[in-house]
């Protein structure tokens, strides 16, 4: 009884956990803007993200909040005002985003743009 040849045992669980929190079409972008802008209202976030739809933004924010990465602060007034920001857990992910930015700056091709 032997394990597969040439394939070492590796624990992917911690890595997979991190990935599971940030996949989803807009999550990384949301985290990015909250990182750069600190606190944003719902409508500001929507404008910043560009072509995200209402449905997507609200659902992604809800998941990020449920995962403890984003803080939702609601001001009881009319019209409503809601501000989003990073939690401590969310902030602790910023080194990851920072690495992504660093890599991007060194590798983004001239003239590249999101299709």
| Binding characters for DNA, 92-111, by CB under 7 A (x = yes) | --------------------
112 binds, among DNA, a copy of itself, none (CB under 5 to 8 A by kind): a copy of itself
**Contact residues for 65 (Cβ-Cβ < 8 A; gap 6+):** 71, 72
Cα gap 48→7, rounded to integer Å = 44
The answer to whether 79 contacts DNA (rule: CB under 7 A) is yes
- Among a copy of itself, DNA, none, the one that 91 touches (CB under a kind-dependent 5 to 8 A) is none
Residues in Cβ contact with 33 at an 8 Å cutoff, skipping those fewer than 6 apart: 40, 45, 48, 49
Cβ–Cβ < 8 Å for 72, 45: no
Ramachandran bin of 103, using left for φ above 0, alpha for ψ from -120 to 50, beta for the remaining angles: alpha
Q: Counting contacts by CB under 7 A, is residue 25 touching DNA?
A: yes
Shortest gap between Cβ of 77 and DNA (angstroms)?
A: 10
Q: In the set 5, 74, 88, 110, which binds DNA (CB under 7 A)?
A: 74
By a kind-dependent CB cut-off of 5 to 8 A, residue 89 interacts, out of DNA, a copy of itself, none, with: a copy of itself
Per-residue DSSP letter, 110: T
* Distance in Å, CB of 67 to DNA, minimum: 15
């Amino acid at each position: 009884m032997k394990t597969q040849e040439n394939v070492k045992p590796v624990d992917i669980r911690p890595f997979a956990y991190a990935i599971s929190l940030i996949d989803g079409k807009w999550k990384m972008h949301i985290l990015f803007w909250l990182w750069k802008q600190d606190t944003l209202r719902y409508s500001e976030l929507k404008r910043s993200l560009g072509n995200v739809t209402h449905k997507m933004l609200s659902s992604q924010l809800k998941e990020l909040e449920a995962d403890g990465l984003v803080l939702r602060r609601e001001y009881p007034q009319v019209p409503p005002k809601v501000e989003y920001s990073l939690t401590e857990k969310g902030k602790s992910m910023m080194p990851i985003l920072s690495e992504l930015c660093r890599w991007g700056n060194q590798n983004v091709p001239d003239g590249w743009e999101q299709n």
